[in-house]
Structure 1
């Protein structure tokens, strides 16, 4: 009886040990998921080779992860160099300088061990110290090992953009949306390169403003073709293509592909963070087509500007599925936080009735649904809805959450240009 009890206890201990070992598995943060700060210069980060051509030490190379479990965490680099070099590795307040050997093949280099005391986002940061060759290091990946890897989250894919987030505005049943009005305000410092703040989206298109480069910003309006072609507009049948009917002065218009296909228009305009901008969409169905027209209010001129007007085939209805979104379209700075305020949305029906949209339902994209990125959110504050993404901080909204802002009760005053 005693032997049986001893055997049972021994089996239980072995099971527990094996279970603990299985839960504390080794994980690899791929080199192609790194970010460079303050900018991606003097270093290249790409899918095929990870971190390469790291020649400058004015920036750091950073790998992010979310630890759900406390405990020890061991850090190992998969790296090589063209001549001996030294870099510092820091994480969770612990830092160590290590040597990268001259080697043609990647070498596993043990770095340090730290103790994760609370769940949250963490960063493994690399910085060049000295080098005898051209590069500080080529880094294929960072290996994490120990109990703290249980339920760890990180982005395993080369898609380094943040998750896109949306506000979906319900419309009262039976109302036809002829006009759709909205406003955007971007706080200072949140206007990062590669960001699209979209105010007035609908089932066939979207209308908002982008940060395209350090010297260029745009007002963007696009409408999708019919037919569902995902990439090349040259493959879209003529009868399925959106047709441009008009465009405003200095507006560029063309077809687009790569993310669906359709008609695109943009106006280069140096919009400023901290200011409020106004957007207006119009829809006119005729037969099985609908004409969509976008207007942007230019505060310096105190007048509405025509951006473009497109006729969409195989449609024939008023605007539906009204929404706003915040998108990061830059890979290089997909780790930087972005936030925008979206508000004062109204619709005007085909019978002339103005209706204020004070409720919004939160949603997100495939990147969020796959849990590749979990740093995003939205809500309502100071009379506005807001959306944010990136920055590696905890989400404060989940798919399907509903927000509500106070009604202003004051419909927009609009005097459109006459042609």
Structure 2
């Protein structure tokens, strides 16, 4: 009987504990809608020196507690949303803080957890929202590998963000929206010259900015911020042969350099079309007004000639940048325009702005016409609504463009804008312009040594996952310009100096070396080359600086040498970052 009573009491307690269903907590909200922001296209590192690993899948490495990440989106705002993280399998325990303005939530991430992790409730303001991710503590290598942020809400909040990676949208989206001004020109005139004045306000010139002043149907002309220590005046013309790889252009469709100014680099470019590129490294200043003048003129032989001139008040006279010949083209100046873009995916969260003033065109009869009307347009990242931090039009009597920085409001695309006439016709001595620059002859063809027996026998680091099928040290000598060696950046990034050692498996007579930088970022600047015949005793044989260009670069030794091993040591990069990349190395 005693045992029966015990059993009865146990059953009674069990029934009492199950008799009432669990009620929802008073502060829990039921949501009818949700969306997920992929971090691969919407995230920036906004603090910290150690670079976070960020790829199309989101945060791939996050090791420093000094790193702060910002995830940005635009909406019509709402009082209540629940925010969740979608993470890869957690390695070790960590704690991070998620904040929107003054609203902060700490999140514990336990070892082995993956998928959806709840953060908490937030209020979303109207306009752009920055979700900040701060590192607190960790026991593993990474604080978290986060793929996306999921936001649950009620009603419509009209969210704008880079939603997918079709057509490489994450790359273009992190660069930010590019915006343009297309100037209205007089009808039925053969225009040869376009003149423009450009001013970048102080503080509106972050790294990666391209302030393009004088665009034309076949190219562009403007100034760039290439790194913390380098700025350029850039003048480029596309080839009539459509490709992103300049090495594919047939000889009869290549852009020829006819003339260039002092200290101007000329070569080829790729990635966004291909053609002839020229630039002058020049430390131009924000807050100063610079003048641009360029011409487009058919030569009567089936080619068109393009010439660009730049006026810096610090110099006090016009300088020629270059003169190009474009084959299979017969045209005068078409589609004068300006644009503003960012070419650095790490600075797409920083705003930039530019003013354009006193635009004029000159026809072949020598008559000037002032341009006072322009159409404002944007690239697909803008027109898709993925990014809406863009503006342009007229302000304070000048045309202007503005992008990035996640500001509001935006300017409607395809809108027309007017500025008041200045009635200040440019005063140009065209005869004096023709005396500027030096004529260019065809470059010498270099016969490189056969690489089939060469071997990379040692290297400081290489990237074996983050660059896809390339990134390995052996890619330096594979004869392909679309593959490259890249220093390690996933996990713990390797630091300068970066190096590799080449074994010729013979002792050829070397007169010099041929380099091709990677057609993208991470171009090597300063280098040293050492030689050895026993892999033990090394002697310096060359040192110098490579150009920030993907074109062929030739280094000629002071005296030929017979050598078996070469060690190439990269000392720093043109973009000031810790990474190095090189597409190809040859010898002759």
Q: Provide the TM-score with structure 1 as the length reference.
A: 0.89
Residues 339-418 of structure 1 correspond to what in structure 2 (within 5 A)?
Answer: 339-415=353-429, 416-417=432-433, 418=435
Asked which structure has the greater CA Rg, the reply is 2
Q: Aligned to 1:277, which of 276, 290, 312?
A: 290
Deviation of 1:106 (Å): 2.5
- Counterpart secondary structure, 1:181: strand
Asked whether the 8 Å contact 1:375–1:395 carries over to 2, the reply is: yes
Pick from 221, 225, 231 the counterpart of residue 211 of structure 1: 225
Preserved contact between residue 82 and residue 153 of structure 2 (Cα < 8 Å): yes
RMSD: 1.8
Alpha-carbon spacing, 1:306–1:39, altered in 2? closer, same or farther (3 Å):
farther
How far 1:96 moved relative to its partner? 1.0
Specify the alignment match of 1:176 in structure 2. Answer: 190
| Pairing partner for 2:326 from 312, 337, 342 | 312
Which of 1 and 2 has higher RCO (CA within 8 Å, sep 6+)? 1
8 Å CA contact 2:49–2:66 kept in 1: the answer is no
Distance 2:332 2:322 in 1: 17
Deviates more, 1:249-258 or 1:72-81: 72-81
Deviations 1:12-35 (A, max 9, x none): xxxxxxxxx9x9432111121311
1:274 Cα deviation after fit: 0.6
Q: Is the 8 A contact 1:24 1:149 kept in 2?
A: no
Q: 1:387 to 1:39 in 2, by over 3 A?
A: farther
Cα distance in 2, alignment partners of residues 40 and 367 from structure 1: 29
Match of 2:136 in 1: 129
**Structure 2 spans left out of the alignment, 5+ residues:** 1-29, 437-588
Is this contact kept in 1: 2:177–2:378, CA < 8 A? yes
Which residue does 2:60 correspond to in 1?
52
Q: Which moved more, 1:292-301 or 1:269-278?
A: 292-301
- SS of 1:32's partner is helix
Instruction: Please state whether the residue corresponding to 1:347 is helix, strand or coil.
Output: strand
Question: Are the counterparts in 1 of residues 97 and 107 from structure 2 also a CA contact under 8 Å?
Answer: yes
Measure how far apart 1:39 and its partner are: 5.8
**C-alpha contact (below 8 Å) 1:88/1:126 kept by paired residues:** yes
- Looking at structure 2, the residues matched to 366 and 346 of structure 1 have their Cα atoms a distance apart, in angstroms, of 29
1:38 corresponds to: 47
1:134-153 paired onto structure 2 within 5 Å = 134-147=141-154, 150-153=157-160
The answer on 1:267 being equivalent to 2:280 is yes
Over residues 226-259 of structure 1, what are the superposed CA-to-partner deviations in whole Å (9 max), with x where a residue is unaligned?
A: 13x2312222222222211111111111112211
Alignment partners' CA distance in 2, 1:244 and 1:398: 40
Among 61, 75, 78, the residue aligned to 2:83: 75
Alpha-carbon spacing, 1:110–1:382, altered in 2? closer, same or farther (3 Å): same
CA contact under 8 A between 1:42 and 1:55: conserved in structure 2? no
How far did 1:122 drift?
1.1
SS at match of 2:69: strand
SS of the residue 2:33 aligns to:
coil
C-alpha displacement of 1:197: 0.1
Once the 2 structures are TM-superposed, how far is the Cα of residue 69 of structure 1 from its aligned partner? Answer: 5.2
Among candidates 81, 97, 104, match of residue 95 of structure 1: 104
Structure 1 position 58, deviation (Å): 2.4
SS of the residue 1:231 aligns to: coil
* Inter-partner Cα distance in structure 2 for 1:235 and 1:73: 52
Distance 1:76 1:226 in 2: 50
Mark the runs of 5 or more structure 1 residues left unpaired by the alignment: 1-20
Q: TM-score, structure 2 length as denominator?
A: 0.64
Q: Deviation at 1:181?
A: 0.7
Task: Figure out how many residues of one structure are paired with residues of the other and give that number.
Answer: 394
Counterpart check, 1:240 vs 2:253: yes
